[in-house]
């Protein structure tokens, strides 16, 4: 049996959005087959500007006497595209769409549907075969619209925004003048001129271009105006600021970088010195684009201060010199004579006349060498004054060697004295009054004039006669010793005949004198010096001061009495002791004294003529043993004692005795000891210093004796 081969050629014509594209023919060889035998799988690629898809050919298993066929599997296109399916003419064929017969004996069918297609072919001998199924798919075109936020025409430095509204899931591409712009956002910030539009594409690259295209015009900014800084003098009358504007532009003025603009040029205010900034731009009259601002600084220069002048006074007939005023650094003086306003200035200062008394006014200003600003005029008054009269003076009398010998004279109001020492003429005057020389007794002449404080005109000199008298000798006086707290009387000194005592208290120098003698105080110990002089009742010359030393001695401290082991009473005072027994003065004055009889002993001490208070009374007992019989006794020792008493006794029928101790002053019982045996030490640390009655008793109450004991 002869094997038949049918070479089936399959054509696909694709029409996009109704626009036919070039027909592409694909044969088996182009699919990678040879000798009309399918040996491998091949691919067919169909591409144009906006779509691409791949049609894949697969081998067909042999069927009946037909060797092979070709089918197209899968095709993905955009909505509105047309697909033409071709097969080589065969005697008979049938086309199916989704399994439904749609055409017979046609080499070509056209579809715009998404469906499954295949063809069944017959060779005329009764043998048939069919293509594999072809699946067509059409992708939807996305929607995209654009909206402009802002003006399409603006000035350089401004901007506009184009916002897109597109189908979800689509891709957006921005274009400027047909060239893609990298911008993944739905908003495009526009700063440059150009034509802007966009397209949205589906996942299968079905593109939809925006219907709106925006032509953006960016106008250039004018150049910043050319300005220059300027300066004025304070309070100068000025016009508005003027500069040249570029043709086709208008100036806009600003008081600061952020203030509102005005097309009226400002007029600088010159009332206050300082630097003030103004800002100006120019606005294009066609595009209304504004240039950057130019800054100009207007400096209001301070007027110089009026020059410093001082009124000038001349004495009548004096030789005058050129007037003087003080200018500040960097300024020149301008003299206007006696013109307060107007007139012509001169750099040369005038010389006033001194023939007639009276006042004349001259005026001067100063001009700054850099700014040319002129100060207000200063007044300089020239006064020609008369000569003063001579001052009123008195004669003087001083004591020999005194230091307070300053001379004085009476000047008129608004005059000052000028002293010339012993110079009747010539010499140099001094405003300090001289002190008369008091080293030598005699009569001397001094001279003084007066000068007017306002005019400096000086009078003729007046003569002062000075007499120097002898100094009296110092008065005689003796030092005084007193005790603290003692009654004091007025101090005494001896004055010479015709003289009066002057007391100065404790002032060796200076201080205020008194004719009443002071009474020294004895409140505190120590030494105080008092001073007294004597004054001559005729010449009133005072002698040197005499010193009186007043010493107030402290009352000696109260002496303490103690008793030693040899039964001597000792005073804490080393010397000056006076001993007393029961308040009666004894003859003994030594530091130690041994009583020969019991009693209350005390002592005083005399130091520097001052007597101390009486010491505490010491009760002295000659014996501290009570003899009961020739063989019996009770003994307490020592007396006085400090902490320990030695207690001993021999009493028939008693081995133990009790001890009670009472305060002598109050009779109050302070302590007790029970069951004391002979030879027992008795410690009494609880007792304070004082005198006590010690009572010794037996337990049966038949024995009772008392001792007077002193606790140190």
Same domain (yes/no): 455, 519? no
List, in sequence order, the alpha helices (H) in 39-171: none
What's phi and psi for 381, nearest 5 deg?
A: -95, 130
Q: Tell me the CA distances in angstroms from 11 to 25, 27, 71, one per residue in order.
A: 6, 8, 10
pLDDT for 667: 66
The pLDDT score that the predictor gives to residue 31 is 30
Structurally, how many domains does the chain consist of?
8
pLDDT beyond 50 at 524: yes
Q: Please report the pLDDT score of residue 289 as a whole number.
A: 94
Decide if 417 is inside a domain. Answer: yes
Residues 651 and 607 in one domain: no
Q: Looking at the domain assignment, is residue 166 inside a domain?
A: yes
Q: How far apart are the first and last CA of the chain?
A: 169
- Residue 564 pLDDT: 77
- Residue 451 confidence (pLDDT): 94
* 3-30 tens-digit pLDDT: 222 233 333 333 333 333 322 333 333 3
Whether 153 and 200 share a structural domain: yes
* Secondary structure (3-state) at 30: helix
Both structure tokens of 173: 């591409």
Place of tokens 């034509």: 195
Sheet containing strand 657-663, strands side by side: 669-676, 657-663, 690-697, 704-711
| 3 state DSSP class of 31 | helix
Whether the pLDDT of residue 517 is over 90: the answer is yes
In the predicted structure, residue 41 carries a pLDDT above the cut 70: no
Q: Are residues 32 and 123 in the same domain?
A: yes
Q: In terms of domains, do 170 and 254 share one?
A: no
**Domain endpoint, select from 110, 139, 168:** 139
pLDDT digit string (tens) for 231-276? Answer: 999 999 998 888 888 898 999 999 887 778 888 888 999 999 999 9
Are 133 and 154 members of one domain? Answer: no
pLDDT exceeds cutoff 60 at 63: no
Q: Please state the rounded mean pLDDT for residues 679-690.
A: 92
The residue segments making up the domain with residue 498 are 480-553
Omega of the bond leading into 638 within 30 degrees of 0 (cis): yes
- In angstroms, rounded to a whole number, what is the distance separating the alpha carbons of residues 9 and 55? 14
- Digit-coded pLDDT (tens) for 566-619: 778 889 889 999 999 888 999 888 999 888 776 678 899 998 889 989 988 776
> Which pLDDT does position 29 carry in this prediction?
31
Better-scored residue on pLDDT, 533 or 113 = 533
Query: Does 548 share its domain with 644?
Result: no
Helix (H) or strand (E) holding 364: strand 358-368
Q: Is 510 found in the same domain as 465?
A: no
Mean pLDDT value across the chain: 83
178 domain residue, yes or no: yes
Give the number of other Cβ atoms within 10 Å of residue 231's Cβ. Answer: 16
As a residue count, the chain comes to: 712
Say whether both 160 and 242 belong to one domain: no
Same domain, 433 and 518: no
Structural domain includes residue 542: yes
* Domain endpoint, select from 139, 155, 184: 139
What pLDDT, on a 0 to 100 scale, did the predictor assign at position 222?
A: 93
Q: Is the dihedral of CA 335, 337, 340, 345 positive or negative?
A: negative
Average pLDDT over residues 672-687: 93
Q: 673 pairs with which residues across the strands?
A: 659
Segment 669-675 shows an average pLDDT of: 92
Determine the pLDDT at residue 12.
Answer: 38
Q: Is the peptide bond before 97 cis (omega within 30 degrees of 0)?
A: no
Model confidence at 626, pLDDT cuts 50, 70, 90, reads: low
- Scored b (16 or more CB within 10 A) or e, 684-694 reads beebeeebbeb
Residue-level pLDDT at 567: 73
pLDDT tens track for 300-357: 999 999 999 999 888 988 899 999 999 999 999 999 999 999 999 999 999 999 888 8
Beta 294-301 vs 230-233: how paired, if at all?
parallel
Q: For the domain that residue 247 is a member of, what is the CATH number?
A: 2.60.40
Same domain, 14 and 108: yes
Position 474 in a domain: no
Q: Is residue 497 part of a domain?
A: yes
Q: Residue 5: inside a domain, yes or no?
A: no
pLDDT in tens, 644-667: 999 999 999 899 999 999 887 776
| Residue 50: predicted pLDDT | 37
Give the model's pLDDT for residue 108.
83
Judged against a pLDDT cut of 70, whether residue 197 lies above it is answered with yes
State the Cα–Cα distance between residues 691 and 667, nearest whole angstrom.
Answer: 11
Looking at residue 20, its pLDDT comes to 31
450 versus 91: the higher-pLDDT residue is 450
Query: Where is average pLDDT lowest: 170-174, 389-393, 395-399, 600-604?
Result: 600-604
Tell me the percentage of the chain whose pLDDT exceeds 70: 87
Which CATH number goes with the domain that contains 122?
2.60.40.10
pLDDT confidence of residue 627: 58
Among 166, 190, 219, the domain boundary falls at 219
Q: Which residues pair with 281 in a beta bridge?
A: 252
In a domain, 600, yes or no: yes
Q: 110 and 172 share a domain?
A: no
């Amino acid at each position: 049996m002869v094997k038949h081969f049918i070479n089936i050629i399959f054509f696909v014509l694709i029409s996009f959005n109704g626009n036919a594209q070039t027909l592409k023919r694909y044969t088996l060889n182009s699919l990678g087959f040879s000798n009309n035998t399918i040996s491998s799988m091949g691919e067919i690629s169909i591409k144009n500007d906006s779509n691409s898809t791949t049609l894949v050919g697969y081998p067909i298993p042999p069927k009946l006497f037909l060797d092979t066929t070709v089918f197209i599997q899968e095709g993905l296109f955009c909505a509105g595209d047309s697909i033409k399916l071709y097969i080589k003419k065969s005697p008979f064929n049938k086309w199916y769409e989704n399994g439904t017969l749609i055409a017979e004996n046609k080499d070509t069918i056209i579809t715009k549907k998404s469906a499954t297609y295949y063809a069944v072919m017959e060779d005329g001998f009764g043998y048939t075969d069919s293509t594999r199924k072809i699946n067509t798919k059409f992708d939807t075109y996305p929607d995209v619209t654009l909206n402009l936020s802002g003006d399409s025409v603006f000035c350089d430095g401004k901007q506009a925004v184009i916002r897109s509204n597109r189908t979800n899931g689509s891709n957006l591409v921005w274009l400027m003048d047909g060239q893609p712009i990298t911008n993944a956002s739905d908003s495009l910030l526009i700063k440059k001129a150009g034509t802007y539009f966009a397209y949205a594409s589906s996942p299968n690259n079905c593109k939809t271009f925006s219907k709106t295209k925006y032509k953006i015009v960016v106008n250039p900014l004018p150049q910043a105006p050319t300005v220059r800084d300027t300066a004025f003098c304070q309070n100068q009358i000025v016009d508005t600021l003027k500069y040249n504007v570029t043709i086709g532009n208008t100036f806009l003025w600003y008081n600061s970088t952020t203030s509102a603009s005005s097309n009226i040029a400002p007029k600088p205010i010159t009332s206050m010195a300082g630097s003030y900034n103004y800002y100006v731009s120019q606005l294009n009259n066609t595009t209304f684009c504004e240039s950057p601002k130019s800054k100009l600084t207007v400096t209001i220069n301070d007027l110089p201060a009026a020059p410093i002048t001082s009124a000038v006074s001349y004495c009548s007939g004096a030789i005058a010199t050129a007037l003087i005023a003080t200018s500040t650094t960097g300024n020149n003086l301008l003299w206007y004579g006696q013109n307060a306003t107007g007139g012509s200035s001169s750099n040369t200062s005038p010389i006033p006349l001194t023939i007639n008394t009276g006042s004349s006014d001259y005026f001067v200003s100063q001009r700054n060498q850099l700014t040319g600003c002129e100060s207000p005029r200063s007044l300089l008054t020239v006064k020609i004054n008369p000569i003063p009269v001579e001052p009123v003076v008195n004669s003087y009398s001083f004591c020999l060697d005194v230091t307070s010998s300053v001379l004085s004279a009476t000047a008129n109001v608004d005059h000052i004295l000028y002293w010339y020492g012993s110079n009747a003429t010539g010499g140099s005057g001094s405003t300090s009054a001289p002190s008369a020389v008091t080293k030598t007794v005699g009569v001397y002449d001094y001279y003084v004039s007066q000068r007017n404080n306002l005019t400096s005109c000086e009078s003729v000199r007046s003569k002062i006669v000075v007499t120097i008298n002898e100094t009296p000798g110092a008065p005689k006086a003796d030092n005084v010793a007193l005790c603290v707290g003692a009654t004091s009387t007025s101090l005494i000194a001896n004055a010479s005949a015709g003289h009066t005592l002057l007391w100065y208290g404790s002032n060796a120098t200076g201080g205020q004198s008194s004719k009443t003698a002071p009474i020294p105080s004895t409140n505190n110990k120590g030494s105080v010096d008092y001073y007294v002089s004597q004054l001559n009742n005729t010449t009133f010359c005072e002698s040197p001061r005499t010193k009186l030393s007043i010493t107030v001695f402290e009352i000696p401290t109260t002496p303490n009495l103690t008793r030693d082991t040899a039964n001597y009473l000792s005073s804490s005072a080393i010397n000056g002791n006076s001993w007393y027994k029961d308040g009666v003065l004894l003859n003994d004055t030594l530091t130690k004294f041994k009583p020969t009889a019991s009693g209350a002993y005390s002592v005083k001490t005399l130091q520097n003529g001052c007597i101390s208070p009486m010491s505490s009374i010491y009760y002295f007992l000659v014996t501290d043993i009570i003899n009961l019989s020739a063989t019996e006794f009770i003994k307490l020792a020592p007396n006085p004692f400090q902490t320990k008493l030695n207690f001993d006794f021999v009493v028939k029928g008693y081995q133990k005795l009790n001890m009670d101790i009472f305060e002598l002053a109050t009779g109050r019982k302070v302590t007790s000891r029970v069951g004391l045996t002979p030879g027992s030490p008795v410690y009494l640390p609880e007792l304070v210093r004082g005198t006590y009655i010690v009572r010794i008793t037996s337990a049966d109450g038949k024995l009772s004796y008392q001792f007077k004991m002193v606790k140190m």
